[in-house]
């Protein structure tokens, strides 16, 4: 479509709806326009920032007519993780339910018009829930040190002295570290020159115990000022029981390097969900919202409804969280993950919680399920919690091959969930989809699908 528009042109738009990333969507001469920060039913003035064949991007200049659901955000930063903070919380929950319906409408799995897509389960207090902060660190020309997140689609680092979705203690420690880095003249990584040392600060806080882990991600193994930092941190915050270093040399898009070792305290911190205990190493995956995680896992437990004579496979098991929580009374839990450290943590977590009916192996779900089937083990129940990319194609075929009687899919991406449903409904019916708000103030949505075998 040939639309007459120029870069930096100011136009007025009526916002029709929110997109999958929480941005406002309007139309200019029938061409779609994405406007971060704009809300449905608003009339806005915007500046065109990008012109593409199929869409335009624009920056919000002024809200001419505000939505009734617009609220004053607590944070005024242009970073990810708070993109819906200007939208009233009940409207956020409705949007996340709609996100799932949008994805179903796009991919059209069989019978999708009749799926029971349930209202999103939210939080009473949708702030201060994140148990982990992963902030980049950079030194400015005037000597000040920034610790925060990048602006969207840029390498401009936004300093975050406050961040309302993080647990308060995590933020206090982060800002203390920033002060200490300057006080001890710690070498900070310079991406342009590929010089310097400290790149990223990762802080994880236990919700169940008074424990915190701090990880310094560095460019070099040598860390001359580490002792000064350790002493200062331990003196100020007795909650810090683990201080680690991860080495990630050179310019890399990934935060973590392959080498992690202890600087002080323990290698892990303790966490607990219900009566299941976990030890979390620096790189172990654990849900970022402990309060909602309990609700999520209770929903999974209810959907699976495991009996004492039934076996469960926990695919993409990580440190064993879902399987150990929902399968304690099952005949046997089996889990797999491609990260050996996660499997080691899962085994230790089962032992700590006194859960003996477990078997964990390193490898992919499709490989191990096939191997186990050859040895006579086909599970009665299956729970999958894949990354945002969704299920591996081979695993989908493996599921079709063995068809567990009970099957629950935990998704963190409505689009890949809907895509996977197209294939899965060949042998299963969707009994219901329950969305859960694991990340208030963001456009991200988690969902649980309970399947019924045809």
- Known binding positions for S-adenosyl-L-methionine: 287, 316, 337, 385
In whole angstroms, give the CA distance from residue 95 to residue 17. Answer: 9
In whole angstroms, give the CA distance from residue 288 to residue 150. Answer: 19
Residue 186: half-sphere exposure toward Cβ, Cα within 13 Å: 29
- Alpha-carbon dihedral angle through residues 372, 375, 376, 377, given to the nearest 10 degrees: -20
Q: Is the dihedral of CA 62, 67, 73, 79 positive or negative?
A: negative
DSSP 366: H
Catalytic residue list contains 412: yes
Reference 297, options 417, 414, 434, 428; nearest CA is: 434
> Which residues does the annotation place in the binding site?
287, 316, 337, 385
Residue 47: half-sphere exposure toward Cβ, Cα within 13 Å: 6
Residues 6+ apart with CB under 8 A from 239: 169, 205, 210, 211, 212
151 with 79: CB under 8 angstroms?
yes
The structure tokens listed for 257 are 């390097």
Kindly report the backbone phi and psi dihedral angles of residue 274, in degrees, each rounded to the nearest multiple of 5, phi listed first: 60, -125
Q: Which of 365, 382, 412, 433 is catalytic?
A: 412
**Residue 178 CB coordination number (10 Å):** 21
Bridge partners for 253 per DSSP: none
Catalytic (active-site) positions: 412
């Amino acid at each position: 479509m040939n639309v007459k528009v120029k870069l930096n042109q100011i136009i007025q738009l009526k916002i029709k709806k929110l997109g999958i990333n929480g941005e406002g969507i309007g139309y200019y001469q029938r061409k779609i326009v994405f406007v971060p920060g704009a809300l449905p039913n608003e009339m806005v003035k915007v500046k065109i920032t990008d012109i593409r064949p199929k869409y335009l991007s624009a920056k919000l200049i002024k809200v001419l007519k505000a939505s009734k659901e617009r609220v004053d955000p607590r944070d005024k930063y242009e970073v990810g993780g708070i993109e819906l903070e200007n939208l009233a919380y009940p409207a956020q929950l409705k949007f996340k339910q709609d996100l799932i319906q949008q994805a179903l409408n796009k991919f059209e799995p069989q019978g999708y018009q009749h799926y029971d897509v349930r209202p999103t389960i939210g939080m009473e207090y949708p702030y201060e829930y994140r148990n982990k902060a992963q902030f980049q660190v950079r030194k400015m020309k005037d000597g000040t040190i920034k610790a925060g997140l990048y602006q969207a689609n840029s390498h401009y680092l936004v300093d975050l002295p406050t961040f309302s979705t993080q647990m308060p203690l995590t933020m206090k420690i982060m800002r203390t570290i920033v002060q200490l880095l300057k006080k001890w003249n710690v070498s900070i990584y310079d991406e342009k020159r590929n010089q310097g040392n400290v790149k990223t600060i990762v802080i994880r806080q236990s919700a169940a115990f008074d424990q915190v882990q701090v990880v310094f991600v560095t460019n070099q193994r040598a860390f001359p000022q580490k002792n000064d930092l350790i002493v200062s941190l331990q003196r100020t915050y007795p909650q810090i029981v683990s201080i680690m270093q991860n080495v990630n040399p050179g310019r890399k898009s990934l935060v973590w390097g392959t080498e992690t070792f202890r600087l002080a305290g323990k290698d892990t911190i303790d966490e607990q969900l219900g009566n299941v205990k976990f030890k979390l190493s620096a790189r172990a995956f654990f849900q970022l919202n402990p309060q909602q995680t309990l609700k999520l896992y209770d929903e999974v437990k209810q959907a699976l409804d495991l009996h004492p004579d039934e076996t469960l496979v926990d695919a993409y098991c990580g440190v064993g969280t879902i399987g150990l929580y929902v399968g304690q009374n099952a005949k046997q839990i089996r889990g797999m993950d491609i990260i050996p450290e996660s499997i080691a943590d899962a085994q230790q977590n089962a032992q700590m919680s006194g859960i003996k009916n477990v078997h964990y192996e390193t490898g992919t779900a499709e490989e191990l399920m096939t191997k186990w089937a050859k040895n006579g083990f086909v599970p009665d129940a299956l729970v999958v919690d894949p990354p945002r990319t969704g299920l591996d194609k081979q695993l989908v075929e493996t599921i079709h091959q063995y068809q567990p009687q009970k099957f629950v899919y935990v998704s963190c991406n409505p689009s890949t969930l809907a895509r996977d449903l197209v294939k899965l409904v060949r042998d299963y019916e969707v009994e219901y989809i329950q969305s859960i708000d694991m990340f208030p103030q963001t456009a991200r949505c988690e969902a649980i699908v309970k399947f019924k075998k045809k």
